[in-house]
A and B are shown apart, each in its own frame.
Chain A
């Protein structure tokens, strides 16, 4: 079933082709990319900021930068989603730091309620994104608690390795090892699907 859904969802134009279109000022290309990734980008921003209005502003700003800075995207340095989500995360972390509101609250993978995608132009895209998300969250749940804690504090709360070591009162070397093992295990779990 998974294979079938993914096959049905194969995009007609790759992200790279669409980005070439954006460089040529084709707003339709940007729209396809928006429909493909905006929900995931909002998920990232919302998880960091925990406030929908600000998170939606971040998503809009992210795609505006995609439009304005499309020529700086280089597919040899990484795939489009990595570039896009890095931009989303950095904008959201900057906003979080501006608020100076880092809180030591526990990280809850399910804190942002899932919603039915009522406005996605491509329902299959949305279904596929949801499935991908569930797969990654299941993989993260299989990490040990200390490993999970380290990578989520870094990625979603914007803490540096030193800040994480201080917060968890662990030596920096221990934090480094946990992060490395967590990323290796995640890769193994996800590629083993």
Chain B
């Protein structure tokens, strides 16, 4: 706490978002009961509020607005359908209610509306998935174009000796692309999981499945730069991945 139990010294960083959680809490508790510190806050606020404009404004691509308003309109439709559904649910007697043909038609329309929304949401999920894939490809291309990127053989063990793979990585970065082929397609509920091993500690960095030809890929995003890990490895795990490897290593590559 700054001197004399005031928070004046912290206020510039409060406005800049540069206090930790404890300090922020202290400032927010102090301000309502201290006119002196509030005056400092008001004196500095104008300067801090200008800072966002220090970044050059860049119009987002049309996709951003389109995706946003697809979500907004889906939200409006879902809320509207939910409101109508609630209104219907409060009717005392469904049977009597439905005897009126216009209401039956309204109910049928509502059901159609709900089904349409569900369909739209499912389409939205597919679009989101495609966006994620495109983004992943974009990151992979960026990785491939970096001069510091290296390619390491991902070698199969005796468990699946026909498997082949390559790990494309910039060891100073957190991301790597693992491409494999010749792996056995797995039954439902099973996945391949990639691991990075630091000392004796394996860290799960993602799961994937292979297609009918045994081909698969995963974009790894490690919690630390890749150079801190010694080994990358692959195991078979239950869907959702495991906290630690539960089966034998199928493929691996040494970083150093």
Contact = CB atoms under 8 A, between A and B. Distances in A.
Our verdict on whether A and B bind, yes or no, reads yes
Interface of A: 25, 27, 30-31, 34, 38-44, 46-47, 53, 56, 59-60, 63-64, 67-68, 79, 81-82, 85-86, 88-90, 93, 99-101, 109-110, 112-115, 117-120, 126, 129-130, 132-133, 135-137, 139-140, 151-152, 154-156, 158-162, 164, 173, 176, 179-180, 182-187, 190-191
B214 to A, nearest CB: 30
B4 interface: no
B174 A43 contact: no
Given A42-B57, A67-B72, A100-B223, A60 B18 contact: no
Contact of B44 (A79, A129, A140, A180): A180
A53 B57 CA distance: 15
B64 A184 contact: no
Where chain B touches its partner, the secondary structure class is helix
Given A30-B72, A53-B138, A137-B56, 15 more contacts: A34-B65, A34-B68, A43-B52, A44-B52, A93-B17, A112-B58, A114-B58, A115-B58, A155-B18, A155-B48, A158-B18, A176-B12, A179-B12, A182-B47, A186-B47
Given A46-B58, A158-B17, A160-B18, A185 B9 contact: no
B195 interface: no
Contact of A191 (B46, B60, B224): B46
Contacts of B97: none
Interface string B31-67: 0000000000001101111111111111111111101
Contacts of B9: 173, 176, 180
A31 B53 CA distance: 20
Contacts of A68: 75
Given A27-B72, A60-B67, A183 B57 contact: no
Contacts of B52: 40-41, 43-44, 81, 85, 88-89
Nearest to B138: A53
B16 A151 contact: yes
A117 to B, nearest CB: 4
CB-based closest 7 A-B pairs: A183-B47, A43-B55, A154-B18, A186-B47, A179-B12, A39-B57, A85-B52
A31 B56 CA distance: 21
B59 A67 contact: no
A154 B47 contact: no
A119 B17 contact: no
A112 B72 CA distance: 29
8 contacts: A43-B58, A44-B52, A56-B63, A82-B49, A101-B174, A133-B53, A160-B23, A179-B16
B229 interface: no
B79 interface: yes
A40 B52 CA distance: 7
B59 A115 contact: yes
